[in-house]
Chain A
Amino acid sequence: MRHLIYAASTLASGLGTMLGAAVLVFVALRFVPGGYADMLLGPFVTPAAREAIEKRYGLDQPVAAQFLHWLAAIAHGDFGVSMVTQKPVLDEFLRRAPVTLELAILALIMALLVGLPLGVVAGVAPANAKRSVAAARLVGAFGLSVPDFVLGTVLILVFSMWSLWLKVGGFVPFGEDPVLNLRTVLLPSAALALFGAALILRTTRDAVLRVMTEPFITAAVARGESPAIIVRRHVLRNAAIPVVTVITTYFGFLLGGAVVVEVLFSVPGIGLYTYNGLGNRDYAIVQTGVLLAACVFVAVNMLADMLYVLIDPRLAR
């Protein structure tokens, strides 16, 4: 019963967050100057043409009514059509979701491969091993400081000046040619991974450092357990919670907000689609994009909650 109430309240607050995001994006979009009529007709827009287009998409109604219509349509699975193509935006989001997902997973894997081991090493290193600690700190500070678009620009420069195996742009779906696909998505993933690696490294190091000062580690050392076992059995398990938090937050960021990198590398994911939708004032695309991002945020938070329980069953109570 308690679990149920807990689940229900989590769900309710998640829905509340999504509703808040929906209201925000809907209202904000109506404040954005210029509309699709301007994009379509360019300088040749006339009041009559603008009216016709606004009427076609129900934009002549009061904002509150538009919003309720939109919510009602979503409840029936209708997320609206793109004004440019007149086709449902949901289909386009579903077509693009695997691309963003692939980018996110690859970036996460890279970030974990670099961040976790370095973080653990920096955390358990003896206090006098100044060099390794400083190196980890430098990598951490570097990763948090080089924005993804700076790294992306440098990667584009290097890989377009010399033909090295990896490619700049020209995305190919995984199902079409897995190798070519990897050659095109590794660079944008790497641009995204640096920040994640640094984030994971720093959190892991801090968590491990703190666990290392706990009495039970001293006790384990006193019992004569081997360092490898101490690290695996005590340190990692107890340091996992903050690390899981940061990993899930980072993953949520990747799924919802990799706009700049997708734009930079022309990766046809949902970030680029939403970005272009905003440029065209194609409302349905932007609204769905933001709603999707909020949904991912809520889902990722729930996932984190579940992982905590898995790691430490005591938290379930």
Chain B
Amino acid sequence: MIAPRPFRFFADLWRRDRLTALGVATLLILLLLGVLGPYLPIGDATRLAVGPRLSPPSWRFPFGTDELGRSFLPRVVIGIRSTFLLSAAAVTMTASLGTLIGMVAGYYRGLADEVVARSADVLFSFPALLAGLLIAAAVGPGRITAISVIAIVALPLFVRIVRSVTLALTGRGFIVAAEVAGASTLRILGVHILPNIAGAVVVQFTYALSIGMIIESALSFLGLGVQPPDASLGSLLRQASVYLTFAPWLALTSGVVLSLAIMSVNLVGDAVRDALEPLNRRALT
């Protein structure tokens, strides 16, 4: 009897690095919950008055009930879904855009590069949350707002790193050779430069994802994220904080799950970074 491959992989990982294994396991469980949430037999996330209001955790309501008599467990599950989904969508878009901008700036140098570098600085100097509050105020709260705020905060992260790696690459022999051979710019960027910066982008991606999740939840915590009855882990915590001292299970469950979700991304991100960029080759800040 041979264990199926994923299990063997996991057993290996567990033996080598327990912390990473725990991170991978948590991330997988949360992702599964987020994706399958609506189909799981854990109750309806939006149905009101299925139980008494603000009742403590029980067999029927493992996370208790909220202020409108909803079961809190399915609410946390849709919260996981929003928090992951919104951040992942925003960071993926930003990573593509940031990589493109960074590559072009780093490759062409000159004025374009100067403009890009300065703009990245301006974005960077803007306190992330203030930027978020401004955008949310202008656009109104909602999914789009959360995604754009994360994108704006994460964009300079990608632009900066991709630009600096591209700058370092452009003088290198194989690029010059390709240029001499008459390769088109698109080809040089796509075939010669992109594979060489992929590692840096992936590492930056996990970092940006965890920051994106923190920002999404902070915005929701201030009431600027997803709209009710939809929920994100941050908006659940916001609502729960009204009942903090007499229904603490609401704040504790949503807070703990939120922290676990971000932590699993960070742990997996660490492992990815260790694998792709060994310490002695890593550019330290």
A interface, CB within 8 angstroms of B: 13, 16-18, 20-21, 24-25, 28-29, 31-33, 134, 137-138, 141-142, 144-147, 149-150, 153-154, 156-157, 160-161, 203, 206-207, 209-210, 213, 241-242, 245-246, 253, 256-257, 259-260, 263, 274-275, 278, 286, 289-290, 293-294, 297-298
State how many angstroms separate the Cβ of A25 from the closest Cβ of chain B. Answer: 7
Contact of A33 among B127, B130, B138 (CB under 8 A): B138
Whether B222 is near chain A, meaning CB under 8 Å from some CB there, is yes
A141-B267, A149-B237, A154-B252 known; A259+B130 contact, CB < 8 A:
yes
A209-B279, A242-B284 known; A24+B263 contact, CB < 8 A:
no
CA distance A29 to B137 in the complex (A): 8
Q: Report whether over half of chain A's contact residues are helix, strand or loop; otherwise say mixed.
A: helix
Say whether A147 contacts B217, CB under 8 Å: yes
Question: Which residues of chain A have C-beta atoms less than 8 A from B111's C-beta?
Answer: none
Say whether B19 contacts A138, CB under 8 Å: yes
Contact of B263 among A21, A145, A209 (CB under 8 A): A145
State how many angstroms separate the Cβ of B282 from the closest Cβ of chain A. Answer: 7
Say whether B127 contacts A259, CB under 8 Å: yes
B interface, CB within 8 angstroms of A: 18-19, 23, 118-119, 121-122, 124-130, 133-135, 137-138, 140, 210, 214, 217-218, 221-222, 234, 237, 241, 244-245, 248, 251-252, 255, 258-260, 262-263, 265-267, 270, 279-280, 282, 284-285
A149-B218, A150-B259, A245-B285 known; A32+B134 contact, CB < 8 A:
yes
List 16 A–B pairs whose Cβ atoms lie within 8 Å, in order of A's numbering.
A28-B138, A134-B19, A141-B270, A144-B210, A145-B259, A146-B262, A153-B241, A154-B251, A160-B245, A203-B284, A206-B279, A207-B284, A213-B279, A256-B130, A257-B129, A257-B130
Question: Which residues of chain B have C-beta atoms less than 8 A from A154's C-beta?
Answer: 251-252, 255
Interface centre among B118, B252, B285 (most CB of A within 10 A): B285
Say whether A260 contacts B138, CB under 8 Å: no
Say whether B133 contacts A275, CB under 8 Å: yes
Question: Which residues of chain A have C-beta atoms less than 8 A from B259's C-beta?
Answer: 142, 145-147, 150
Contact of A278 among B121, B133, B244, B251 (CB under 8 A): B133
State how many angstroms separate the Cβ of B120 from the closest Cβ of chain A. Answer: 10
Say whether B127 contacts A253, CB under 8 Å: yes
Say whether B280 contacts A206, CB under 8 Å: no
Say whether A150 contacts B138, CB under 8 Å: no
Say whether B118 contacts A13, CB under 8 Å: yes
Say whether B118 contacts A203, CB under 8 Å: no
CA distance A206 to B217 in the complex (A): 29
Question: Which residues of chain A have C-beta atoms less than 8 A from B255's C-beta?
Answer: 150, 153-154
Say whether A29 contacts B258, CB under 8 Å: no
Contact of A150 among B124, B128, B237, B248 (CB under 8 A): B237
Which residue from chain B places its CB closest to the CB of A298 in the assembled complex?
B125
Question: Which residues of chain A have C-beta atoms less than 8 A from B222's C-beta?
Answer: 260, 263
User: 14 other contacts beyond A20-B118, A147-B217, with CB at 8 A cut-off?
Assistant: A16-B122, A28-B134, A31-B138, A32-B137, A147-B218, A149-B218, A153-B237, A157-B248, A203-B284, A206-B282, A213-B279, A260-B222, A278-B133, A286-B134
Question: Which residues of chain B have C-beta atoms less than 8 A from A153's C-beta?
Answer: 237, 241, 244, 251, 255
Question: Which residues of chain A have C-beta atoms less than 8 A from B218's C-beta?
Answer: 147, 149, 260
